[in-house]
């Protein structure tokens, strides 16, 4: 497939993955609001540097898994259990508003870059997400595992992540006082998203039985 199309597939898939309010996009918005747009962008660049690595690892992992369907079946069942547990936690357990924690003052742009690198590094969810999506696209013939295709895809994934972080930074000032930004609403939103993923995964498991 044309590498431009693969690039935009990576962009769209990564963008969708970062839409739900989470640690990275909300932190980027908060930094931009409190310290200025430039430092929010620097933080986002640090995040995207790790996204490049994570997406590459996911693509290599997916290339191995696509030839070992038995492992994919096991991982699919494990993913289903994990998504169900996450859904239960966010919808029924995590209801309390967290106390505001004091953040250490970070002054330099370099520090914000490495903060983005660190926070993105401990967020390992993109690896299984991208691996799953890569396998799905490969099964439809939309993606092969040639080096140029993988490079194009991970470039798109990094760009998609940056675009969504930028959107959060741009609009956060307008939405910061609305209920969607409360922790309780975020928990319900994340729980709903993982619930939908759980149902889709369960349907796939049943079809393959």
Condensed to tens digits (0 to 9), the pLDDT of residues 78-92 reads 767 877 887 787 677
pTM (2 decimals)? 0.68
Tokens 């903060």 appear where? 115
Residue 201 · residue 80 · CB < 8 Å: yes
Say how far residue 91 (Cα) sits from the centre of its chain.
20
pLDDT digit string, tens, across residues 173-190 = 665 555 554 556 656 766
Q: Could you report the per-residue pLDDT of 53-83, keeping only the tens digit for each?
A: 999 998 888 888 777 766 767 766 776 787 7
User: Which residue bears the tokens 């959107």?
Assistant: 167
- CA atoms of 25 and 188, how far apart (whole Å): 17
Q: Quick check: 193 and 71 in contact, CB under 8 A?
A: no
198: which residues sit within 8 A by CB, 6+ positions away?
A: 80, 83, 84, 87
| Spacing of C-alpha 153 from chain mean position | 15
List the chain domain ranges: 3-68+101-179
* Sole residue written with tokens 């799905």: 136
- Report d(CA 47, CA 160) in Å as an integer: 12
Give the burial string for 41-72 (b: 16+ CB within 10 Å, else e): bbbbbbbbbbbbbbbbbbbebbbebbeeeeeb
> Which residue in 173, 63, 158, 89 sits closest to 120, CA to CA?
158
Over the stretch 96-123, which tens digit does the pLDDT of each residue have? 544 443 444 545 556 888 888 988 888 7
């Amino acid at each position: 497939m044309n590498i431009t199309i693969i690039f935009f597939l990576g962009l769209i898939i990564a963008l969708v993955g970062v839409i739900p309010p989470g640690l990275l996009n909300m932190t980027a918005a908060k930094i931009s609001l409190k310290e200025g747009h430039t430092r929010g962008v620097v933080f986002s660049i640090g995040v995207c540097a790790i996204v490049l690595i994570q997406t590459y690892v996911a693509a290599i992992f997916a290339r191995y898994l696509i030839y070992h369907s038995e492992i994919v079946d096991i991982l699919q069942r494990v993913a289903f259990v994990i998504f169900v547990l996450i859904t239960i936690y966010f919808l029924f357990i995590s209801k309390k508003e967290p106390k505001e924690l004091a953040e250490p003052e970070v002054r330099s742009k370099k520090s914000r870059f490495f903060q983005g690198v660190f926070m993105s590094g401990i967020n390992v969810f993109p690896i299984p997400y991208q691996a799953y999506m890569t396998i799905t696209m490969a099964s439809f013939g939309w993606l092969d595992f040639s080096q140029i295709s993988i490079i194009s895809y991970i470039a798109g994934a990094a760009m998609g992540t940056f675009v969504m972080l930028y959107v959060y930074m741009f609009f956060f000032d307008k939405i910061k006082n609305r209920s969607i930004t409360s922790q309780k609403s975020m928990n319900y939103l994340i729980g709903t998203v993982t619930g939908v993923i759980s149902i889709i995964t369960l349907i796939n498991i049943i079809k393959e039985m």
